[in-house]
Amino acid sequence: MGSENLILRIEGIRSEDDRLEVKKILESINGVSWVCVDGTAGTAVVVFDPDHTPQDELINAVMEAGYTVKRFFNC
């Protein structure tokens, strides 16, 4: 299983509940092995298997929950 890191810049994380919601959404996606959401910085780092999960699926899941993904970076 290969893995990639994706860093998302997210607008709309205003509380601990928002932070936990974004974390839970990303962790529920098949192929995601690790998630860290920093509510203060408005970022999420996601480690995922690109063979099982396209990065668009991660971005779309966050956007469907009502947050705005401003930028993203692969590491």
For residues 4 and 44, give the distance between their C-alpha atoms in angstroms, rounded to a whole number. Answer: 14
In tens digits, what is the pLDDT along the chain, a chain of 75 residues?
689 999 999 999 999 999 999 999 999 999 999 999 999 999 999 999 999 999 999 999 999 999 999 988 776
pTM for this prediction: 0.91
Given a contact cutoff of 8 angstroms between Cβ atoms, the answer to whether 12 and 18 are in contact is: yes
CATH match for 4-41+50-74 among 3.30.310.50, 3.40.50.720, 3.30.70.100, 3.30.565.10: 3.30.70.100
For residues 7 and 4, give the distance between their C-alpha atoms in angstroms, rounded to a whole number. Answer: 10
